Amino acid sequence: MKPAWMVIGLLTAAPALASPGPVDRYDCHADTRQYHCHGALGATTQSHLLIGGQLATSTWLWDDGPANSFAGPAVIVEWAQNSIALRGSYGYRRHLTGDTEFAVSGWDLGIKLGQGLARLGHHLFVQVGYAAQRINYPDKSFLPFGGIQMGVGWVRVSEKFAFDATLLYQDPAPLEQLWAELNFPGGVQSFKATLGLYLRL
């Protein structure tokens, strides 16, 4: 009987010997020195592609004058892997606090950093990038400017969709230089806020 009890004991102990060790909220672990997951594929995936749109607003707060605000749509493409994401967008925003024939348009590229950006759930992130913009005049002429932008955001990722919100501070120096060349010198603070909805692929 002794061999039989030994076999039973080994079978009983096998699950404990095969235990994956501590796992995170995605049922993933790295006890074999290689991070891997045992949960549902949708929850444990570590990369995705987002394609969608945003409502974006830009605000210029002048030291010695009224603020200029712009709002409009933007098209977004983003690829995320683990805790890093690359994002590109193109948008067009009309002037809200004055003549609506004036607008700001352009593209921007950014890098996002945050834990688990490609996974299901809620995530915070920081974002830094470059925005190339131009002021569009009613006569179809335009003035280009661009600079660094940085800020923070929040994203909610589900199986098929993602929703996010960001607040970015934009380097005011290029805008100040542009207005100085037009004989309108002055200091300004520039901000951009967005709300986005995306298809998750």
Task: Assess whether pLDDT exceeds 50 at residue 163.
Answer: yes
Q: Where in the chain is the domain with CATH 2.40.160.20?
A: 46-200
Task: Assess whether pLDDT exceeds 70 at residue 31.
Answer: no
Nearest to 154 by CA among 140, 170, 165: 165
**What percent of the chain has pLDDT above 70?**
78
Task: Assess whether pLDDT exceeds 70 at residue 80.
Answer: yes
CA distances from 45 to 23, 33, 117, 157, 168 (A): 15, 18, 10, 12, 28
Task: Assess whether pLDDT exceeds 50 at residue 16.
Answer: no
Q: What is the rounded distance in angstroms from the CA atom of residue 87 to the CA atom of residue 76?
A: 7
The domain made up of 46-200 has a fold known as Porin (2.40.160)
Quote the tokens at residue 6: 């030994």
CA distances from 161 to 21, 48, 151, 190 (A): 32, 11, 23, 30
Q: Is 23 helix (H, G, I), strand (E, B) or coil?
A: coil
Q: Give the pLDDT mean for 97-121.
A: 92
- Report the pLDDT value the prediction gives residue 100, as an integer from 0 to 100: 85
Q: Which 8-state DSSP code applies to residue 46?
A: -
- Report the pLDDT value the prediction gives residue 132, as an integer from 0 to 100: 97
- Report the pLDDT value the prediction gives residue 173, as an integer from 0 to 100: 93
List the end-to-end C-alpha distance of the chain, in Å, as a whole number.
Answer: 58
Task: Assess whether pLDDT exceeds 70 at residue 128.
Answer: yes
Q: What is the rounded distance in angstroms from the CA atom of residue 167 to the CA atom of residue 54?
A: 13
Q: Can you point out the beta strands (E) in the chain?
A: 28-29, 36-37, 47-62, 68-81, 84-95, 103-113, 121-136, 142-157, 161-170, 188-200
Predicted confidence (pLDDT) per residue in 164-192, tens digit? 999 999 999 999 998 888 887 789 999 99
Task: Assess whether pLDDT exceeds 50 at residue 38.
Answer: yes
